[in-house]
Amino acid sequence: MPGQASTITKIVARQIFDSRGKPTVEVDLTTGQGMFRAAVPSGKSTGIHEACELRDGDKSMYQGAGVLTVVKNVNEILAPAMLGMDVTKQAEIDQKMIELDGTDNKGKLGANGILAVSMAACRAGAAARGVPLYQHIADLAGNPRPVLPVPSFNVINGGVHAGNALAPQEFMILPVGASGFEEAMRMGTETYHTLRSIIQNKYGLNAVNVGDEGGFAPPIDTFEAALDLLTEAIAAAGYTGKIKIGMDPASSEFFRESGEYDLNFKAATNNGSGRRTSAEMVELYKQLVAKYDVIFIEDPLSEDDWAGFADITRELGSQYEIIGDDLLCTNPKRIQRAIESKACNALLLKVNQIGTISESIKAVQLAKSAGWGVLTSHRSGETADDFIADLSVGLSTGHIKSGAPARSERVNKYNQLIRIEQELGSKAVYAGDNWRFISISA
């Protein structure tokens, strides 16, 4: 019967491990259609305004990072309450869990447990309707045309993701000039391996060991050094003009109580020469985008530097994407504030920052209603779950970052996008040069 196919009959949560070897939450949700599984990621560079990733705190087990409390919350509180609910009604399922938690940040039951159930329910809803996951998400959002995103490959690492002295956290390459997603993968992987050879020749074999997200961490310490390497690799691979550059300084990590940004925060000896005011950071970014083929800057300033974000958006926003990650935390309230204050012009979409699929969709709808771009993102602690690939297509976010074209928990998101492109066939649309402005309304 159709009702049985969409009715939740069982939910079971368990503790599994992410790509960094830390515990995380996985949920199996069963309907008459079968069992549907989802696992949640975990960030290392996290914003203070993110929904609560609940951990056990028992230092005798997993250094306090266990999630058995969340597993218990899912199995004993959420599961009984969700039985009999219709998985095709995503908003009702998510709202029920929000009400059961009853806090502003999902701190009672844990956003990590709530999200696992929400993702599994979304998969089950797609199956009950007999449509692919990306199409189900598109329908939930009222999006008439799913679009394949431009991959944003994180190929050089710094910040808290690497042991070098480089303060900014990520430097990315985006094949906007590709004709389709599979060609974008070819362009990206060729440039990635070209970059590997360049770094190895300059700095030795140890410099091409990869980090959490598959990027390299050469012994460099300035924005310019990283951007020079990328420019050289793109040219050597033959893709100048077709591959652009994105940056994620993750500036909250080197923002100090003095109100300054310390670009030498990882240096063994720090004489204070790397300190910059918010205005000086904006000037630095203006110089960088004038010199290099950069198209976006994510978190150029700290998570509560609203004035600094407004300054850089006023200065650069007409030509470049200024993305809010820690500033926004995929939270509609913070997105609305940013729209009103013109603090940025793009959203970084991380589902575990907000905790449900319905709220993630609302965040994207709000951002796009303001004419913003949206970048779908993984986390540094990932799982084999490839949900965000379908999410990026279903919401037509225009671009997606899932790390370098290396490490299976990164590449499996890109591989899923290849499958989706093949499934769509002649109907497949690749964002390409239009990566920044894609509406999700008819």
Domains annotated on the chain, with CATH:
7-130 (3.30.390.10), 150-434 (3.20.20.120)
pTM of the model: 0.95
213 catalytically annotated: yes
Give me the catalytic one of 213, 303, 359, 421: 213
Task: Please indicate if the annotation marks 311 as binding a ligand.
Answer: no
Does 248 appear as a known binding residue? yes
| 8 Å CB contact between 250 and 169 | yes
Q: For position 387, what pLDDT does the model report?
A: 98
- The per-residue pLDDT for 214 is 92
Q: 86 to each of 11, 29, 75, 109, 296, how far by Cα in Å?
A: 13, 12, 18, 22, 40
Say if CB 403 and CB 192 are below 8 A apart: no
Tokens encoding 180: 């389709």
Q: Which residues have C-beta within 8 Å of that of residue 220, sequence separation ≥ 6?
A: 158, 164, 165, 166, 226, 229
- 362 and 113 Cβ atoms separated by less than 8 Å: no
Single-letter amino acid, residue 157: N
- Residue identified by tokens 């189900």 is 136
φ, ψ for residue 157, nearest 5 deg:
-110, 145
Contact call for residues 299 and 376 (beta carbons, < 8 A): no
The whole-angstrom separation of Cα 442 and Cα 361 is: 16
CB contact set of 153 (below 8 Å; sequence gap of 6+) = 172, 173, 174, 188, 192, 401, 403, 404, 405
Question: Any binding-site annotation on 377?
Answer: yes
Q: Where are the beta strands (DSSP E) in 77-202?
A: 150-151, 153-157, 170-174
Angle of helix 133-141 relative to helix 387-394, nearest 10 degrees, comes to: 40
Assess whether 350 carries a catalytic annotation: yes
For the chain, how far is it from start to end, CA to CA, in angstroms? 33
Q: Can you give the pLDDT of all 442 residues of the chain as single tens digits?
A: 445 889 999 999 999 999 999 999 999 999 999 999 999 998 766 667 889 999 999 999 999 999 999 999 999 999 999 999 999 999 999 999 999 999 999 999 999 999 999 999 999 999 999 999 999 999 999 999 999 999 999 999 998 878 899 999 999 999 999 999 999 999 999 999 999 999 999 999 999 999 889 999 999 999 999 999 999 999 999 999 999 999 999 999 999 999 999 999 988 888 888 999 999 999 999 999 999 999 999 999 999 999 999 999 999 999 999 999 999 999 999 999 999 999 999 999 999 999 999 999 999 999 999 999 999 999 989 999 999 999 999 999 999 999 999 999 999 999 999 999 999 999 999 999 999 877 765 4
Compute how many other C-beta atoms are within 10 angstroms of the C-beta atom of residue 307. Answer: 12
Of 106, 244, 266, 350, the catalytic one is: 350
Task: Please tell me whether 258 is known to bind a ligand.
Answer: no
The shares of helix, strand and coil residues in the chain, as percent rounded to the nearest 5, are 45, 15, 40
333 is in an annotated binding site: no
Helix (H) or strand (E) holding 228: helix 223-237
Number of H helices and E strands in the chain, helices first, is 15, 14
